[in-house]
Amino acid sequence: MSAPAAGQPWPVLIVDDDPEVHSVTRLALHGFTFQSRKLEWLSAHSGEEGRTIVAARKDIALVLLDVVMETDEAGLELARHIRDDLHNRTIRIVIRTGEAQAQPLAVVERYEIDDFRAKTDLTFERMTILVKSALRTYGQLRELERAVADCEVKLRAARA
């Protein structure tokens, strides 16, 4: 798994069954850059389609994820798949839901969600802050992974 190289766009996956959400998100973040990188938009309209994209693209930095799609918990199943089946702790997952969730704290804990927002609460400013924060954290985690890998290589070489 590798982070985008300098100048390469940040891959962001929108997983939502409402095409309007995809359009509004892209419009709200049109021209957005972070660390001199633009966003590369990927779209899935179901949890299953999201699963296919995440399996094919190991470089996704952020998933903006709806909960209720083809089933009442399709989004949560995708989050579980990313964390438990793919063992991906680096990708940032933000739930954006239009449905009332009885226990958002439990959802964040169980599925290792990085943020949980009602779609109606996401103004342009809040969305921009959310995406910048998620990309910053993703970049830091990727740097840490590279540093650990470098240390492991040096340690093996020293033992040989």
Is 149 a member of any domain? yes
Residue 125: CATH number of its domain: 3.40.50.2300
Domains contained in the chain, number: 1
CA neighbor of 92 nearest in space, from 56, 50, 130:
130
For residue 3, the model assigns a pLDDT of: 47
Residues contacting residue 5 through CB under 8 Å, at least 6 positions apart: none
pLDDT tens for each residue of 78-131: 999 999 999 999 999 999 988 666 588 888 899 999 999 988 888 899 999 999
What is the overall mean pLDDT for the chain? 91
C-alpha span between 125 and 111 (Å, rounded): 26
Is 34 a member of any domain? yes
For residue 85, the model assigns a pLDDT of: 96
Buried b / exposed e over 136-160, threshold 16 CB at 10 Å, is eebbebbeeeeeeeeeeeeeeeeee
Q: Any idea which residue has 């927002």 for tokens?
A: 117
Is 2 a member of any domain? no
| Confidence tier at 5 by pLDDT (50, 70, 90) | low
Comparing 105 with 5, the larger pLDDT belongs to 105
Is 45 a member of any domain? yes
C-alpha span between 153 and 149 (Å, rounded): 6
In this structure, the strands spanning 92-97 and 115-118 are: parallel
CA neighbor of 65 nearest in space, from 78, 49, 54:
78
* Other C-beta atoms lying within 10 Å of the C-beta of residue 110: 13
Is 107 a member of any domain? yes
| Confidence tier at 160 by pLDDT (50, 70, 90) | confident
For residue 121, the model assigns a pLDDT of: 85
For residue 101, the model assigns a pLDDT of: 63
Comparing 12 with 7, the larger pLDDT belongs to 12
pLDDT of 159 higher than 60: yes
pTM: 0.89
Is 59 a member of any domain? yes
Please work out, in degrees rounded to the nearest 5, the angle formed at the alpha carbon of residue 122 by the alpha carbons of 18 and 49: 30
Is 28 a member of any domain? yes
pLDDT tens for each residue of 27-52: 999 999 999 999 999 999 999 999 99
pLDDT of 16 higher than 50: yes
| Residue range(s) defining the domain that contains residue 100 | 10-159
Is 100 a member of any domain? yes
